[in-house]
Amino acid sequence: MFIRLKTNKSGSKSVMLVHGERTPGKKHPVLKVVKNFGTAADEAQFQKLKNEAESYKAKIISQDISKQPLNIFGGEDIRSCSSVTCGFNDIYMSTFSSMFAELSLKPTDLNRVRDLSVMRIAESCSKRRTAQIAGEYGLNLNLESIYKTMDSLTDIKIEQIKQIIYRNTVNTLAQHNQTVDVLFYDLTTIYFENNSQDAIRDFGFSKDGKHQHVQVMMALMVTRHGLPIGYEIFPGNTYEGHTLVPVLIKLREKYNINRVVLVADAALMNNINLEELSNNNFEYVISARIKNSKADIKKQVLDVADYKDLISYNSSNEDDIDRVKSKEIEVTETSKLICYHSSLRARKDNHDREKAVEKARKYLASSGKNRLTGALKKSYVKLKTSKDDSITIDEEKLEYDKKFDGYFALCTNIKDAKAEELLGYYRGLWQVEQSFRIVKHNLEIRPVFHYSTRRIKAHFILCYMALALLRQVEFKLKIAKIETSIEQLNLDLRKMRKVYITDRNGKQFTLLEDPPQSLHPVYQALGIKWPQKFKHIDTM
C-alpha cells in the first residue's frame, strides 16, 4: 500500500492511496485505488492532502490484523498447530451457497446439509465415517446431528430441493442463451446392505449383479450438458419399461415444461411405451433393437441401396474417418425408424466379436458347464447336447451376426426429423450414463446402509445435491474453456491445505501450503477469491 501522487495536464496534482493485489495468472500486482483524496491547485493544498493520505494509511495499517507478525523462534512458541484440506470448502461451499440460498431450512440444518453434500464429494463413505473424518476438512459434524438433519428432510423439503436444482439448471442455460429442449433419461438399480423389504425396497433384476439384495430403481434425467433435471425412485421389483411415461408426466406437471425431446436407450423401446408417449404428446428419440425387429424391417435395414451419405467426421488419419449413411423407414402412422451405418462402428463390432470368438475357442476342449462364463454367452456360442457338453461355435449364427456390423437405428415420432440432428441427440446419451457413473462410483450412492424410509430418501437427495454441485462446477469450467475432469479437479483440491497455528500469546494464524498452480484459473473462472498465503485471525 502506498500514496500515489499524480500531476495532471492542467498542472494540478492528485493524491490517492493505492494497494497492489496479487492476482492468479498475473505476473505483476494489480493496482487498486483504496481512496482518492482529491486534487490540489497549489502547494499548501497539496501538502494537506498528502498529510491526510499518510494519516489514513497509518490508521489502516494499525487496524489490519492480517499484518500481525508471527513470532515463532522455537517449539515453545507454538501453543497448537493443525492442518485441514480447504479446497473442497472453497469450491463446493461457494457453489452450494449460490444454488441453495432460498432453501427453507433452519440455519443449522442448512449448514449441515451443505457440509454433508461437500463431504459426499470429498469422501464418499458412511455417515458414521463422515462424522469421524469431517474435522480433516475443517467441518464439525457428529453422527447424532447428521441423523437429526436427515430426519428434517421431509418429502416437502426434498421436492423443494428438486425444484431449486431444476430452476438452477434452467437459469444456468438461459445465461448462455440455451434452453432445456432435450432430456436424456436412464434408469438404474441401487442395492442395500440389508434384505428388509418394504414399500420401496424389494428384490428384482439388479443391474449391478446384486440379486441377493433388496433394491430400489432410480430414474435420472439430465440435459445435453449433463446438468440435472430430476430423479424419481421406484420399488425394486418395478419393470423398467413401466417407469418412463409416469416420470415424464410428473415432470411436465411439476415444472410446466412445454416441449422436450426425450432421448433414451433400447431398454425402454416397447410398443406400449411408444404409444403412450405419442398419446401424451411427448416427442422421443429411442434406440431400437434391430435384431429383434420383424423380418421385413430387418430386410429394409440391411438393404444398402437406399442409404444416403449423411456425414463424414474428418481426421488426418484415414482409418479414423467415420463415414455415416442413413435412411428412413416408416413403421406406423406416428413413428419411424432412422437407420444408420457407421464405418467406425462396423470396425468396432467386428473387433469385439473376434475377441469373443477367440476367447470362446480357447475353451472348446473344456467342460461347458464349468467354463461357460458371462463373457462367452453370445448368440453364436452354444453348448453341444452330447455327453461332453463342450462349447461350440454356431458358424451359421456367426455369419448372420456379421451382417449387422455398423448398423443401428433410432425410433422417433418427431415430424420432419433430420437424421443428422437425431444422431446428435443419440450421441449425447452418454451424459446421463456418465451421471450415473458419478453417482455410483464418485459419490458411492450404493450400497445403502439406512433402514428407515425417511433416511433412505434423505440419502438419495444428499447424493443428488452433490451431483448438482459437481455438474454445475463442471459446466462453468467448460464455458471458461478449462478442460479438466472432476476426478483431476478433486485430486488438486485435496492438495489445497491450510495450516492453523496458535502462538504462545494465543494469537491465531493461517498459512496456506503451496497449492497446485492448476487451481488458479479454476478459482478465477468460478469467481472465488484466491485465499491469502498468510493471515492473522482476529479471535476477539
How does pLDDT run across 286-342, given as a tens digit for each residue? 988 898 888 999 999 999 888 999 876 655 566 678 889 999 998 888 889 999 999
Residue 258: φ, ψ to 5°: -85, -60
CB-based contact 285:263 (threshold 8 Å): yes
- What angle is formed at CA 411 by the lines to CA 279 and CA 308, rounded to 5 degrees? 140
Q: Which range among 122-131, 390-399, 423-432, 444-453 shows the weakest confidence by mean pLDDT?
A: 390-399
pLDDT for the residue 496: 94
pLDDT for the residue 65: 46
Edge to edge, what strands does the sheet with 13-21 contain?
2-7, 13-21, 30-40
CA distance 117 to 468: 10
Q: Which residue has the cell 494464524?
A: 509
Q: Are strands 283-288 and 215-222 parallel, antiparallel or unpaired?
A: unpaired
CB-based contact 116:146 (threshold 8 Å): yes
Q: Give me the mean pLDDT over the 483-500 stretch.
A: 93
CA distance 99 to 467: 13
Q: What would the DSSP string read from start to end of 382-396?
A: EE-SSTT-BEEE-HH
Q: Pick from 13, 35, 63: which residue ends a domain?
A: 63
Q: Give me the mean pLDDT over the 417-446 stretch.
A: 87
Q: Give me the mean pLDDT over the 102-126 stretch.
A: 94
Q: Pick from 17, 44, 63: which residue ends a domain?
A: 63
Q: Which range among 18-22, 77-81, 110-114 shows the weakest confidence by mean pLDDT?
A: 18-22
pLDDT band at 55 (very low <50, low <70, confident <90, very high): confident
Peptide bond into 447 cis (omega under 30): yes
| Cβ-Cβ contacts under 8 Å for 196 (sequence gap 6 or more) | 214, 451
The answer, yes or no, to whether residue 205 has pLDDT greater than 90, is: no
> 400 and 507, same structural domain?
no
Whether 511 is in a domain gets the answer yes
Mean pLDDT of the chain: 85
CA distance 280 to 285: 15
Helix 244-255 × helix 271-279 angle, to 10°:
20
pLDDT band at 538 (very low <50, low <70, confident <90, very high): low
Residue 95: φ, ψ to 5°: -65, -40
CB-based contact 244:271 (threshold 8 Å): no
Q: Give me the mean pLDDT over the 505-509 stretch.
A: 84
pLDDT for the residue 26: 64
Q: Give me the mean pLDDT over the 202-211 stretch.
A: 87
Q: Give me the mean pLDDT over the 269-293 stretch.
A: 84
pLDDT for the residue 369: 47
Whether 133 is in a domain gets the answer no
CA distance 142 to 148: 10
Global pTM value: 0.79
CA distance 61 to 58: 5
The set of cell numbers assigned to 164 is: 431449486
> 407 and 299, same structural domain?
yes
> 507 and 406, same structural domain?
no
- SS3 per-residue string spanning 235-289: ECCCCHHHCHHHHHHHHHHHHCCCCCEEEECHHHCCHHHHHHHHHCCCEEEEEEC
Whether 432 is in a domain gets the answer no
pLDDT for the residue 374: 54
- What angle is formed at CA 418 by the lines to CA 413 and CA 419, rounded to 5 degrees? 95
Whether 143 is in a domain gets the answer no
The answer, yes or no, to whether residue 524 has pLDDT greater than 90, is: yes
Whether 533 is in a domain gets the answer yes
User: b/e for 251-282, b at 16 or more Cβ within 10 A?
Assistant: bbeebebeebbbbbbbebbbeebbebbbeeeb
> 299 and 410, same structural domain?
yes
Q: Are strands 182-191 and 261-264 parallel, antiparallel or unpaired?
A: parallel
Number of domains in the chain: 3
Rounded alpha-carbon distances, angstroms, from residue 215 to 7, 121, 193, 205, 446: 76, 23, 9, 9, 10
List, for residues 337-386, the tens digit of each pLDDT value: 999 999 999 999 999 888 878 877 776 655 544 555 554 556 666 655 55
Whether 365 is in a domain gets the answer yes
Element containing residue 40 per DSSP (H, E): strand 30-40
Helix 486-494 × helix 453-479 angle, to 10°:
100
Burial class (CB in 10 A: 0-12, 13-18, 19+), 61: exposed
Whether 523 is in a domain gets the answer yes
The set of cell numbers assigned to 227 is: 446438468
Using alpha carbons, select from 327, 323, 321, 324 the residue that is nearest to residue 302.
327
Find the domain containing 341 and state its range. 291-416
pLDDT band at 401 (very low <50, low <70, confident <90, very high): confident
pLDDT band at 508 (very low <50, low <70, confident <90, very high): confident
CB-based contact 322:298 (threshold 8 Å): no
| Cβ-Cβ contacts under 8 Å for 291 (sequence gap 6 or more) | 298, 404
Residue 385: φ, ψ to 5°: -95, 10
Q: Pick from 367, 390, 416: which residue ends a domain?
A: 416
pLDDT for the residue 253: 81
The set of cell numbers assigned to 193 is: 446392505
- pLDDT above 90 as % of the chain: 41
Residue 336: φ, ψ to 5°: -150, 160
> 300 and 412, same structural domain?
yes
pLDDT for the residue 57: 81
List, for residues 221-272, the tens digit of each pLDDT value: 999 889 999 999 999 988 877 788 888 888 888 877 767 788 888 876 677 6
Whether 111 is in a domain gets the answer no
Q: Give me the mean pLDDT over the 182-196 stretch.
A: 88
Helix 453-479 × helix 155-174 angle, to 10°:
10
pLDDT band at 173 (very low <50, low <70, confident <90, very high): very high
Output 505 or 163, whichever has higher pLDDT.
Answer: 163
> 400 and 505, same structural domain?
no
